[in-house]
Structure 1
Amino acid sequence: MPEFLTTPEGRRIAYHRTTGAGPGIVFCGGFRSDMQGSKAQYLEAWAKSQGRAFVRFDYSGHGESGGDFLDGAIGDWLSDARAVLAALTEGPQILVGSSMGGWISLLLAREQPERLAGFVGIAAAPDFTEDGFWAGFTPAQRAEIEAGRPVDVPSDYEAPYQITPRLIADGRDHLILRSPLPLSVPARFLLGTADTAVSAETTLRLLDHLEGDDIRLTLVKGADHRFSDPECLDLITAAIDDVSRRAG
């Protein structure tokens, strides 16, 4: 059973926390995903086997946390992650962000660089509300959003997404690819060549915006956006091990 944290905004966030040695690891999941996913559970089991501190959690409106998904936006989920980092961890952490969690984690890195020991991005998807959804909308879809109505967007991985006007507007307040972002800790980015949600071009654009001396990208031929087969999961833990050694 999860434990629950009430954020400063009054949202009820479900989480699982493993105590252990530092630097601890915080896993930030993706858009409409939850902490019961294969990556989150695999990393928790791995952290336990290594005696490492680890936290996985559900954003508001996701999984076992309170709230309605359609009421949420990037700023809300960033606030949830910020509350988890503040209340459930001590000292510098390795942030592991999957898809949207990569965007959330990079926002945390920008505002609290002193809390980072390392960074691992798995199919990181910064600015996807603007550069993915909005950029791909038809004129009719844009008109619906501008009129205050949600639109449905097909997904290759699950049921269609319902995209709200607030998600688009709030996303514009949290873009990170429009200016340089210092990232002074060791950082590793992982991406599959069969990923239809995040392109290699997007990831290379992200790397161009990051300022740091120890940033690397690994492309995995044939891996998709889930990045959760056994070989991919091993690559994630290897990346965590790598940044852990270099952070020390």
Structure 2
Amino acid sequence: MTQMLETPQGRRIAWQGRKGRGPGVVFLGGFRSDMTGTKALWLQEWADRTGQAFLRFDYSGHGASSGTFEEGSIGDWFADAATVLTALTEGPQVLVGSSMGGWIGLLLARAMPERVAGLVTIAAAPDFTEQGYWAGFSAEQREALLRDGRVETPSDYGDEPYVITRRLIEDGRDHLVMDRPLPLPFPVRMLQGTADEDVPVDWALRLLDHATGEDIRLLLVKGADHRFSTPDCLQLIGQSVEEVLRAAAR
């Protein structure tokens, strides 16, 4: 059953969870995704089957939460996730971050490492507003963004284009993780498809090289795309979460 949590900023965050064995697992969705996506639901079924505590939620402007997508920013969604982690879980959690959720997970790890037992990323997209959108914009798109405060970009996942706002880009610069030390003092498993057209393999390699920690591994899956939602890919996600849980228990 979906429940609502009000954040200190007055946003209402939709969430679903189950009590169970700890440490709990928290799913962090991607850009314009929500907690009813394939990976979130697969992990819910996995948690029901294994008895693991599990929580999934929608950032503001996503899914059933309050607000509109265009009003949001990385800082807002990071604050939403931090509130969820603080208010709805106890003790260190294993974070599972998909695409933008990987960036949010890294921000949580930097801000509150005592609440992170481990991290699993799926096509992690740290700093994508800068190294993806801004770096890829033409001079005309940059000019339009600065002049109009927004620019539309095509979406591969629906008929409607993505609206990228000036606030999203500028706020993203305040939350970069690849431009400063990134200690990850817990088990980390990163999953990346080689056929991902949204997050290049190079990003995963750079993150692996940039982050510091004693137990960080990257698994490349030949032919997997950004969705990373085939039955084999979903099994790999489950195996990675279980591996992190075992490592965290040592």
- TM bin (shorter chain): over 0.9
Q: Is the 8 A contact 1:34 1:62 kept in 2?
A: yes
Residue 178 (structure 1) aligns with = 179
Residue 163 (structure 1) aligns with = 164
Residue 222 (structure 2) aligns with = 221
Residue 232 (structure 1) aligns with = 233
Residue 100 (structure 1) aligns with = 100
Partner amino acid, structure 2, of 1:156: D
Partner amino acid, structure 2, of 1:108: L
Alignment of 1:68-147 (within 5 A): 68-147=68-147
- Structure 2: distance between partners of 1:214 and 1:53: 23
Percent identical pairs in the alignment equals 62
Q: Could you report, residue by residue, the CA deviation over 1:56-95 in whole angstroms, capped at 9, with x for unpaired residues?
A: 0000000000101100000000000001001110011000
- Structure 1: distance between partners of 2:87 and 2:181: 29
- Distance apart, 1:209 and its partner CA: 1.4
Q: Which runs of 5+ in 2 are unaligned?
A: none
- Distance apart, 1:154 and its partner CA: 1.5
Q: Is the 8 A contact 1:156 1:196 kept in 2?
A: no
- Structure 1: distance between partners of 2:88 and 2:149: 37
Q: Could you report, residue by residue, the CA deviation over 1:151-187 in whole angstroms, capped at 9, with x for unpaired residues?
A: 1112233332110010000000000011120001000
Secondary structure at the counterpart of residue 147 of structure 1: helix
- Structure 2: distance between partners of 1:167 and 1:179: 20
Q: TM-score with structure 2 length normalisation?
A: 0.98
Residue 59 (structure 1) aligns with = 59
- Structure 2: distance between partners of 1:149 and 1:138: 15
Partner amino acid, structure 2, of 1:43: L
Provide the aligned length of Structure 1 versus Structure 2: 248
Structure 1 runs, 4 residues or longer, greater than 3 Å off: none
Residue 47 (structure 2) aligns with = 47
Residue 192 (structure 2) aligns with = 191
- Structure 2: distance between partners of 1:69 and 1:160: 12
Residue 206 (structure 2) aligns with = 205
Residue 247 (structure 2) aligns with = 246
- Structure 1: distance between partners of 2:153 and 2:206: 24
Q: Which runs of 5+ in 1 are unaligned?
A: none
Q: Could you report, residue by residue, the CA deviation over 1:24-79 in whole angstroms, capped at 9, with x for unpaired residues?
A: 00000000000000100010110111111100000000000010110000000000
- Structure 2: distance between partners of 1:201 and 1:34: 26
Partner amino acid, structure 2, of 1:151: V
Q: Is the 8 A contact 2:149 2:167 kept in 1?
A: no
- Structure 1: distance between partners of 2:128 and 2:152: 15
Secondary structure at the counterpart of residue 207 of structure 2: helix
Residue 153 (structure 2) aligns with = 153
- Structure 2: distance between partners of 1:123 and 1:165: 24
Q: TM-score with structure 1 length normalisation?
A: 0.98
